[in-house]
Amino acid sequence: MRLVYVFEGPRDDSSDYSVIIYNRIPKTGSTSLMGIAYELCSKNGFSVIHLNTTKNSHILTPADQIRFAQNISGWMERRPAIYHGHIGYIDLSALGVSLRPIYINVVRDPLERLISYYYFLRFGDNFRPEVVRKRKGNKETFDECVIRQGPDCDPVNLWMQIPFFCGHHSACWEPGNAWALQQAKGNLAKSYFLVGVTESMEDFVALLEASLPRFFRGALQLFNSEGKSHLRKTYGKQPPSKETLKNIHKSKVWQMEQDFYMFAKKNFNSIKKRALPSAGSAFVPQQFRFEKIRPKYITNNNINANTNSR
């Protein structure tokens, strides 16, 4: 039986012009999450905008970074809004705009993510089964690929979540770069409002609804409705053998990506423990209040006195 959380908060959204940036990492469950956002946008009154890049590039040129920052800052008619796309982290504070977006993301066990992508290229999924994938007809298993050291299962392909959080610096996209790992951790800790994990997607959706009801009011109910919890399922996926796991775990890239994943997962579990109700509870109360407010009433005289005393 699933818990049904009840989230209460301010419902006057008329002055909310927030912007969320979700720089989605491939094969982490982002299609499921954005499917929910697209269903809620009309009801909750916000825009959802996909950032489509040429040749599916994960980085933008300096000129395009400026254009992107200026566009999302000035496109007031579309606020509040969620911008999403498979793009590396962009620090808007370095691009001459005053907008401070809310960054969110989801990470996944790095080897699970790679294996899912490996079979996705060969067999596709139930989201768009009619699409012909790049490796259609190739029935080689991931284990067999590892044995012959094929390019599709090369551990270097694990280098994905670190660069997405690291950003647009060239070092971010160098597999095994130690600075990139530290930069990714720093950006996650300082710039991201919430980073969930694929394996706990229901809890991530619950936290989004509790924290950002302007966008995600009703998200948990949608997520748990028939067909939503597992909106996208890769066909033909087989679990790796113990020997494959042993070989992959020797890789420096896997060790670094696993380090980053565990860093993100530990933080998410800590937030979840504080913010979600315990088993059997159905209400998430506000955990702060304002008090000892002085003076009791604010008047023009108070304001003028404070101004003159500066």
Per DSSP, which regions of the chain are E strands? 6-7, 19-23, 47-50, 81-85, 102-107, 192-197, 283-284
Q: Classify residue 56 by its DSSP letter.
A: G
CB neighbour class for 39 (10 Å; exposed up to 12, middle 13-18, buried from 19): middle
Distance CA 34, CA 24 (A): 10
Q: Which of 50, 58, 86, 249 is catalytic?
A: 86
Find the radius of gyration of the CA atoms of the chain. 22
Return the HEC string of 102-126.
EEEEEECCHHHHHHHHHHHHHHCEC
Q: How would you label 142-160 residue by residue, b for 16+ Cβ within 10 Å and e otherwise?
A: bbebbeeeeebbbbebbbb
CB of 103 closer than 8 Å to CB of 25: no
Does residue 58 carry a catalytic annotation?
A: no
Q: How far apart are CA 179 and CA 232, in angstroms?
A: 34
The residue whose two tokens read 């380090």 is 259
Amino acid, res. 160? M
The question of whether 86 is a catalytic residue gets the answer yes
Of the candidates 84, 168, 230, 249, the residue annotated as catalytic is 84
For residues 215 and 101, is the Cβ–Cβ distance under 8 A? Answer: no
- Cα–Cα–Cα angle for 204, 206, 212, rounded to 5 degrees: 95
Host H or E run for residue 205: helix 201-211
At 257, list the tokens. Answer: 């990506």
The residues assigned a catalytic role are 84, 86
